[in-house]
Amino acid sequence: MALQVAEMLSTYPKDLGDIDQSRLATCIEECLRCAQACTACADACLSEDMVAELTKCIRTDLDCADICGTTARVLSRHTGYDANLTRAVLEACAQACKACGDECERHSKQHEHCAVCAQACRDCERACRELISTLG
């Protein structure tokens, strides 16, 4: 099922301003995808026999999932838009994705769910940084 992010953005009754709507839509989508991947990866880690060795990965997954979900929600709201807050949230999300991607990468050869999650984190980090670069 395709996300309807761009369609929802196009229905906003006011002008969205100078923000690059294509990058905004992509960033929201990547945040939602990453939140799901991180949640699923944490759950998969909990099912592994070596769960004690994956504690940091689980924690990083859950932190990243929460931050990505929050970022998607903040980016989806435009009434009373605050560029400084948006930039800060995007920076936090990019940082969380980098940390999670790095941690999952450490386990990616042993656990395919970590490889999938690491890629989702890299994609989301890139989308956040690309959107940041367009903010005034």
What per-residue confidence (pLDDT) applies to 1? 39
Report the predicted TM-score, pTM, of the whole model to 2 decimal places: 0.92
Domains in the chain, please, with CATH?
20-132 (1.20.1270.360)
Tokens of residue 9, six digits: 């953005």
Q: Which residues of the chain have pLDDT under 70?
A: 1-3, 13, 15-17, 136
pLDDT of res. 16? 65
CB within 8 A of 8, min separation 6: which ones?
76
